[in-house]
């Protein structure tokens, strides 16, 4: 695949969005386009386009078909609350997958379960690291020497974040840009935790699962 500048992908997405019928308050666009971080139509457009248009958007990216299929699966996945026991299993499943790819996390302290009756979400994560933090070196290593994959990975981060105000979906959807043959689906357990109503962090007291089921409107 020929390497195109991300700004050309940005223009292509706007052209593809125009294939859908106009929607109310849809802003007109013209060249030159704003910086991608300020391009609200780019950031939010995937949510209101059709699957066919989304497929055309992803088609210009490396591994585009695989990522489009993941995106559609992500959108259609029904969120169902999971209990602490299932959350704990998913947490240790995630650690095992990390270990297979050389990502080490010190978890000598036991997993704790906390919720809004003890701490707000902000306070709970103010001095905690999300699990993706421990994968940053792996991501950098996989993207080094792969400029096309690197451009696509960072081009997609914010539009995918805007689909649910979190990066767990983005991590899972863009995994095809990073994975090597035969490797496990690295970020699936963390996404399952989120969809089941839990956020995971690690602080000085060890790992914890924060209960967000009520916040997300999931029946416990």
Examine the pLDDT at 10 and tell me if it is beyond 70.
Answer: yes
pLDDT attached to residue 3: 65
pLDDT attached to residue 2: 65
**3-state secondary structure (DSSP) of residue 43:** helix
pLDDT attached to residue 170: 97
pLDDT attached to residue 130: 93
Write down the mean pLDDT value for the chain: 93
pLDDT in tens, 67-121: 999 999 999 999 999 999 999 999 999 999 999 999 988 888 999 999 999 999 9
Percentage of the chain modeled with pLDDT above 90: 87
Examine the pLDDT at 4 and tell me if it is beyond 80.
Answer: no
pLDDT attached to residue 30: 84
Q: What is the 8-class DSSP label of residue 63?
A: T
Percentage of the chain modeled with pLDDT above 70: 97
pLDDT in tens, 20-70: 877 766 777 888 999 999 999 999 999 889 999 999 999 999 999 999 999
Residue 140's CB: how many other CB atoms inside 10 A? Answer: 10
pLDDT attached to residue 202: 95
Examine the pLDDT at 129 and tell me if it is beyond 80.
Answer: yes
Examine the pLDDT at 194 and tell me if it is beyond 70.
Answer: yes
Query: Taking residues 8-24, what's their average pLDDT?
Result: 89
Instruction: Extract the runs of DSSP E, i.e. beta strands, from the chain.
Output: 112-114, 129-130, 198-203, 206-211
Alpha carbons 8 and 36: distance in angstroms, whole number: 11
Query: Taking residues 177-186, what's their average pLDDT?
Result: 96
Angle at 140 between CA 1 and CA 131, to 5 degrees: 120
Query: Taking residues 133-144, what's their average pLDDT?
Result: 96
pLDDT attached to residue 208: 97
Q: Are strands 112-114 and 206-211 parallel, antiparallel or unpaired?
A: parallel
pLDDT classification of 168: cutoffs 50, 70, 90: very high
Task: Provide the residue ranges of all domains of the chain, joining segments of one domain with +.
Answer: 6-60, 84-211
Longest CA–CA span in the chain (Å) reads: 55
Query: Taking residues 182-188, what's their average pLDDT?
Result: 96
Are the beta carbons of 21 and 136 closer than 8 angstroms?
A: no
CA-CA distances (angstroms) from residue 111 to 159, 162, 209?
32, 30, 7
């Amino acid at each position: 695949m020929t390497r195109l500048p991300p700004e050309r992908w940005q223009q292509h997405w706007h052209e593809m969005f125009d294939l859908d019928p106009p929607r109310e308050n849809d802003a007109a666009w013209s060249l030159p386009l704003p910086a991608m971080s300020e391009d609200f139509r780019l950031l939010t457009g995937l949510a209101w386009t059709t699957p066919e248009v989304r497929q055309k958007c992803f088609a210009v990216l490396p591994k585009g078909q695989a990522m489009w299929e993941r995106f559609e699966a992500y959108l259609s996945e029904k969120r169902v609350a999971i209990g602490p026991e299932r959350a704990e299993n998913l947490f240790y499943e995630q650690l095992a997958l990390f270990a297979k790819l050389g990502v080490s996390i010190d978890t000598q302290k036991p997993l704790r379960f906390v919720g809004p009756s003890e701490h707000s979400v902000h306070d709970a994560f103010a001095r905690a690291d999300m699990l993706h933090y421990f994968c940053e070196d792996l991501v950098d290593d996989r993207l080094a020497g792969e400029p096309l994959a690197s451009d696509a990975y960072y081009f997609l981060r914010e539009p995918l974040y805007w689909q649910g105000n979190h990066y767990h979906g983005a991590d899972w959807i863009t995994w095809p840009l990073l994975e090597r043959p035969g490797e496990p689906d690295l970020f699936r357990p963390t996404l399952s935790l989120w969809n089941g109503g839990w956020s995971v962090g690690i602080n000085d007291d060890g790992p914890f699962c924060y209960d967000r089921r009520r916040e997300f409107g999931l029946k416990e």
